[in-house]
A = this chain, B = another copy of it.
Amino acid sequence: MNIHEYQAKEIFTGFGLPVPGGKVATTTEDSVALANEFGYPVMVKCQVLTGGRGKAGGIKFCETEADVRKNAEAILGMDIKGHTVKTVLITPAVDIESEYYVGMLIDRNTKRILLMASAEGGVEIEQVAKDTPELIFKQPIDPRFGLLDHEAMDMGMRLCPTDIKKARQLASAMQKLYQAFVHSDASLAEINPFIFTPEGRGHAIDAKVNLDDNAIFRHSDYEPMRDLDAEDPSERAAREANLSFVKLSGNVGCLVNGAGLAMATMDLVKYYGGQPANFLDIGGSSNPEKVVNALKIILADEEVKVILFNIFGGITRCDDVAKGIIAATEIMDIKVPIVVRLTGTNEEEGRALLSKTDLVPATTMDEAVKKAIELG
C-alpha cells in the first residue's frame, strides 16, 4: 500500500524524525489559510501517489499569499500521470544548504532491511544508482540488533566526513527511520532529500513510505490512510474481495490461480496476438465465493469480450472452482463466452460439474488461450 507524503511524514514524526510542520488542504482557501498560519515562505505540494511530482509542476515555492493562491488553484485538480490532485500539503519552506538521500528497503539478497544513503540527495536516486552507484552507500541491518550506533554513525560520516554534528544528525535520522520502517511494517521508506539549513539543522523535507500489504492486518490504524480515490474502482473491488488484480487494456478477461501462471497466461495471450484485459490471481484459497467476485470485477469492464479461466489445482481444488463458476453463472447474466481450462487436484470432479453447462472446455493452456482469442 502506497501512502501520501503527508501520511509518511505523520509516521516519521511519530518516530521522532525532524519533519517541518505541515498540514493538508483540499481547497485554495484552506491552503491560503494554512500558509498564513505557518508564515511565509511555504511549499505547496501536490499529494498524489506517483513520482516526478516536481517536474510535473505539482510542487511550488510560495513567498506570498498571492503565490499560494495562484499555485494551490493551479495544482488542485491537476492531472499528474493519471492521478488527479485532490489534496495539497502546505509546509513551511526551509533554506537548504545541502541535500542527502536516505532510504530503506527489503533486500532480497541479504534477506535484510537495507539502508541506502547518498550525498546526491534531492534527485532521482534510481538515476544515481544507474550512473554512479559508488555514490550510494549501503548497510544491511541485522534484524536481531537493529541499526547499531556505529553503523549509523559510519554512514553519517561517509555522507558528511567533515562535519561531525551533521553526521550525528544523519545517523540519528537513520536509526529513527529504521524504527519507523519496522514498526510500520514498511516495504520502502525514503527521505529524499534530508536537508541541512545554513544553520546546520537537519530536516526530512520529503517522505515516501510503502507499507507491506501482508502486514496491514496488524495496523488497523493505517487502513484509513488508504487513498481510495487513487485506486481504479475495479482494483479496489478486487482488493476488498481479497483478489490480486491489475487492470490492463485488452479484451480477454483472465482468471488464473497463481501469480506466475496468471502472468504466463497474459504473456501467452499476447504471444498469440490477443490482448489480456487484466492480471487476476484468485489466490491459493479454494473459496467458491472468490470466483463470483472475480467474475463480477472482470465483467464490469465492458471491453471484456471473453472470459478465460486457466486453473491448475494445487491448494485450489478444481471442483471448488467449478462450483464457483456455476454459482456465478446462476447469479449473473453472463453474455460473453467463457473458456475454461481446469487441471490438477480434483480435476475430474471439476470437469464433471462443468460438463452440464455451456462453457467452452479446453485441455491445455495453449488451446484455452487460442480459443479465447478466437471467441473474443
Contact = CB atoms under 8 A, between A and B. Distances in A.
A144 interface: yes
Interface in A19-65: none
A145 interface: yes
Nearest to A146: B144
Contacts of A144: 144-145
A341 to B, nearest CB: 41
Contacts of A145: 144
Interface residues of A, number: 2
Interface in A126-158: 144-145
A94 B144 CA distance: 40
A145 B144 CA distance: 6
A18 B145 CA distance: 29
Nearest to A142: B144
Nearest to A144: B144
A241 to B, nearest CB: 30
Interface string A142-180: 001100000000000000000000000000000000000
Interface string A287-331: 000000000000000000000000000000000000000000000
A145 B145 CA distance: 9
Interface string A73-94: 0000000000000000000000
Nearest to A143: B144
A130 to B, nearest CB: 36
Nearest to A145: B144
A111 to B, nearest CB: 15
A2 to B, nearest CB: 29
A190 B201 CA distance: 43
A38 B157 CA distance: 57
A60 B144 CA distance: 46
A145 B146 CA distance: 11
A144 B146 CA distance: 9
A37 B41 CA distance: 52
A124 B145 CA distance: 36
A243 B231 CA distance: 62
A144 to B, nearest CB: 4
A355 to B, nearest CB: 45
A109 to B, nearest CB: 22
A183 to B, nearest CB: 12
A325 to B, nearest CB: 39
Interface of A: 144-145
Q: What 2 A-B pairs come out closest when comparing CB atoms? A: A144-B144, A144-B145
2 contacts: A144-B144, A144-B145
